[in-house]
């Protein structure tokens, strides 16, 4: 069951001082009316009831990736996203992870990691407009998926390109879009057409950011309550999720911002480098270290995550990593035997697990562990 007509779609601008666009949309996706909303233009208090409202937020810092679900805990999914987003988001420990839905349980689902600060900012801006957000969606996810599995759908809005393929969706500066989607796809630029596409797609967007701690607590009687179940799906991400998220999801984001070379430079800087008179043996070792640094995190995290899956009730609370240093994780477990089992699992993957400290919290053990490459 869908919400009754009309549905409001609010396009939040990238700049807070710019007015938002509110579209009244029929159930079939037709735009019935358009108006501009400025701060203070709405009611002084957000109405408890009103037309069902989907807010499209500027998704520059909220790219989406379609990932394969199986048994994977919410804490582990958050840890993987936090570890990768560490250099993209200022608050590593304040990342909100949202998981979308798919047509069938075994199909990949969209996953978005975004700073909680961005979520709070969007919610505050929506409230200042006197709007009640029933759903919140990154604007690029309001684009319908292309018919061609290898193709793209792209539009230009506010000088940015919103692009979606079968397995990726993001917003970048317009001039950088071609480095990701190529020249074969010509973005749609006509503002009225772009708004119409986003309005229609917003009604069927595959992911709602208002889940987990941001899920509505009231009991509004709408059939769209099923969207809130998406939070539960964060407990069903595959072991491949962290690897895909860290290697592939970052790939298009870094490329879009032309930061791949900068990221590589940071890795190289963290590792020993040969000077003009460097010893050939040391130089060779440094070169090997450079080549392997890019693989260290996904290899270590894959071993950690797969080992945690074998431990009943265990979970990863936090992961940190820096080039040249071992992966460190805060893991929650029931007893020392589980930590020993995790160490044996790591050993089978060529890694040594070193416990840096353990404390008991609410009857559970929380241990800081390092995963170090085992000596040959």
Q: Note the pLDDT tens digit of each residue in 105-159.
A: 677 888 888 888 899 999 999 999 999 999 999 999 999 999 998 899 999 999 9
Q: Assign residue 301 a region: left if phi > 0, alpha if psi is -120 to 50, beta otherwise?
A: alpha
Q: What is the β-pairing status of strands 64-67 and 168-173?
A: antiparallel
- pLDDT of 284 reads 55
Residue with tokens 């975004």: 114
Q: What is the mean pLDDT of residues 297-321?
A: 82
Percent of the chain at pLDDT > 90 equals 39
DSSP type of residue 16: T
- Rounded to the nearest 5°, which phi and psi values hold at 206? -80, 0
Domains of the chain: 7-233 (3.30.420.380), 272-373 (3.30.1360.100)
Whether 46 has a pLDDT exceeding 80, the answer reads no
For 223-259, how does the pLDDT look when each residue is reduced to its tens digit (9 = 90+)? 333 333 333 333 333 233 333 333 333 343 434 343 3
* pLDDT of res. 8: 97
Order of strands, sheet of 160-164, starting from the edge strand that comes earlier in the sequence:
95-99, 109-115, 64-67, 168-173, 160-164, 153-157
Lowest mean pLDDT among 66-80, 130-144, 175-189: 66-80
Rounded to 10 degrees, the C-alpha dihedral 346/347/352/358 comes to 50
pTM of the entire predicted model: 0.59
Distances (CA, A) of 305 to 43, 104, 299, 315: 48, 25, 10, 9
User: Mutual orientation of helices 280-309 and 74-85 as an angle, nearest 10°?
Assistant: 160
| Phi, psi at 332, each rounded to 5° | -105, 130
pLDDT band at 345 (very low <50, low <70, confident <90, very high): very high
pLDDT of residue 238: 29
Cβ atoms of 87 and 69 within 8 Å: the answer is no
* 97 bridge partner residues: 113
**DSSP string across 36-47:** EE-TTSS-SS--
* The predicted structure's pLDDT at residue 68: 64
């Amino acid at each position: 069951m869908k919400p009754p007509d009309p549905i409001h779609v609010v396009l939040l601008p990238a700049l807070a001082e710019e007015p938002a666009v509110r579209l009244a949309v029929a159930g079939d996706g037709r735009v019935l009316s358009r108006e501009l909303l400025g701060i203070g233009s709405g009611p002084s208090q957000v109405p408890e009831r009103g037309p069902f409202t989907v807010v499209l937020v500027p998704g520059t810092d909220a790219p989406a990736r379609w990932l394969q679900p199986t048994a994977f805990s919410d804490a582990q999914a958050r840890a993987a996203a936090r570890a990768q987003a560490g250099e993209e988001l200022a608050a590593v420990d304040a990342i909100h992870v949202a998981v979308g839905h798919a047509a069938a349980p075994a199909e990949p689902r969209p996953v978005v990691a975004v700073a909680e600060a961005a979520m709070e900012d969007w919610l505050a801006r929506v409230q200042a407009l006197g709007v009640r957000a029933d759903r919140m969606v990154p604007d690029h996810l309001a684009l319908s998926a292309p018919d061609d599995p290898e193709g793209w759908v792209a539009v230009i809005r506010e000088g940015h390109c919103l692009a979606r393929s079968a397995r990726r969706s993001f917003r970048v500066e317009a001039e950088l879009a071609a480095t990701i989607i190529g020249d074969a796809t010509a973005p749609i630029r006509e503002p009225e057409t772009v708004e119409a596409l986003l309005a229609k797609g917003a009604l069927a967007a595959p992911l709602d950011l208002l889940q987990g701690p941001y899920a509505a607590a009231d009991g509004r009687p709408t059939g769209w309550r099923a969207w809130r179940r998406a939070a539960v799906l964060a407990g069903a991400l595959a072991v491949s999720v962290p690897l895909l998220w860290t290697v592939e999801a970052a790939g298009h984001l870094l490329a879009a911002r032309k930061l791949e070379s900068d990221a590589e430079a940071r890795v190289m800087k963290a590792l020993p480098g040969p000077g003009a008179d460097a010893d050939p043996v040391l130089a060779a070792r440094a070169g090997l270290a450079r080549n392997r640094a890019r693989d260290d995190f996904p290899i270590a995290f894959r071993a950690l995550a797969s080992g945690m899956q074998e431990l009943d009730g265990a979970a990863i609370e936090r992961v940190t990593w820096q080039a040249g240093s071992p992966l460190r994780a805060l893991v929650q477990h029931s007893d020392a035997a589980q930590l020993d089992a995790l160490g044996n699992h790591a050993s089978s993957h060529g890694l040594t697990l070193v416990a840096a400290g353990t404390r008991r919290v609410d009857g559970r053990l929380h241990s800081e562990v390092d995963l170090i490459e085992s000596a040959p």
